[in-house]
Amino acid sequence: MHQFDLKNKTAVITGGAQGFGLDIAKKFLNSGSKVFIWDIDEKELLKATKDINNTNLNFNIVDVSNFDQVKKTVSEISSNNKIDILINNAGITGPTAELWNYNVKDWNSILDINLNGTFYCCKLIVPHMIKNNYGRIINIASVAGKDGNANASAYSSAKAGVIGLTKSLGKELAKYDIAVNAITPAGANTKLLDQMSKEHVQWMLSKVPRGRFLEIKELTSLVCWLASEENSFSTAAVFDISGGRSTY
């Protein structure tokens, strides 16, 4: 994989204790960045920190759907660090069901974590980026936010919201050296698949012309370019990585 220069940069990665987030953290560390991984799962955070064993890796126990927790953590980090990169990766798929049978509590939880969590992190970190006239924000959305997945209306709606947020924020920050972009992966080999029924997983796979799920390292490679200074022009954009499922 191409090596990007992230030296002297500080990154915050939500949902960073496993899956996409953890792989991104490893690559950022190898590229010279200081990294803060956020996750609600303390056990996974401790395991990740122990396994990686890098002095540039830090962790915070954060529920991104809790505005006060996010605010407190951003304040603590920014008191001694410039936050140069934000990866909004934390998310849940939730159960699958027809919209009219969808549990209201599950609906609200999915939107709180996937969409409101992204909003909270951006709202609280963007002012620091504006002050420094530098930033790279990558929001991990989903192909479901573009196409809509049957029996996953909450997740599809939340990720569509993340796409809309990205486009708006990218335009609002275009006069600064701050790039805001979204990535829309298809299904990937992560623990998110465990939250879905086998039938739904097979349906997702059937939609991918390449005939396989996304590999984590493939998404990480795209994130690294978007997070680097090499991405000096693209903003408010949506980068598809769906194996041909969506072509727009």
Please report, for the domain that includes residue 89, its CATH number: 3.40.50.720
Q: Which residues of 159-180 are buried (b: 16+ CB within 10 A; e: fewer)?
A: bbbbbebbbebbeebeebebbb
For the residues 179-204, what does the mean pLDDT come to?
A: 82
pLDDT band at 199 (very low <50, low <70, confident <90, very high): confident
Inform me whether the pLDDT recorded for 92 exceeds 70.
yes
Inform me whether the pLDDT recorded for 247 exceeds 80.
no
C-alpha closest to that of 118 among 186, 84, 167: 167
pLDDT band at 192 (very low <50, low <70, confident <90, very high): low
For the residues 118-139, what does the mean pLDDT come to?
A: 98
For the residues 234-239, what does the mean pLDDT come to?
A: 98
User: What token pair was written down for 183?
Assistant: 């990535």
Note whether residue 5 is domain-resident: no
Number of domains making up the chain: 1
Inform me whether the pLDDT recorded for 158 exceeds 90.
yes
For the residues 118-146, what does the mean pLDDT come to?
A: 98
Ranking 64-78, 132-146, 192-206 by mean pLDDT, the lowest is 192-206
Note whether residue 40 is domain-resident: yes
For the residues 224-242, what does the mean pLDDT come to?
A: 96
Note whether residue 246 is domain-resident: no
Note whether residue 64 is domain-resident: yes
For the residues 101-117, what does the mean pLDDT come to?
A: 98
Write the pLDDT tens digit of every residue in 18-49.
999 999 999 999 999 999 999 999 999 999 99
**What pLDDT score does 194 carry?**
73
Q: 110 or 210, which is more confident? A: 110
pLDDT band at 221 (very low <50, low <70, confident <90, very high): very high
**What pLDDT score does 138 carry?**
99
Note whether residue 4 is domain-resident: no
Note whether residue 133 is domain-resident: yes
**What pLDDT score does 27 carry?**
97
Catalytic site residue from 102, 134, 155, 176: 155
Domain that holds residue 97: 10-241
Overall residue count recorded for the chain in this entry: 248
Inform me whether the pLDDT recorded for 147 exceeds 90.
yes
CA–CA distance, 233 with 229 (Å, rounded to integer): 10
Supply the DSSP symbol for 116.
I
Inform me whether the pLDDT recorded for 1 exceeds 70.
no
**What pLDDT score does 200 carry?**
77
For the residues 81-106, what does the mean pLDDT come to?
A: 96
Note whether residue 2 is domain-resident: no
| Angle (nearest 5°) at CA 67 between 53 and 119 | 90
Q: Which residues have C-beta within 8 Å of that of residue 96, sequence separation ≥ 6?
A: 151, 152, 196, 197, 200
Number of Cβ within a 10 Å radius of residue 36: 23
Tell me, yes or no, if 248 is annotated catalytic. no
C-alpha closest to that of 96 among 194, 200, 190: 200
Note whether residue 248 is domain-resident: no
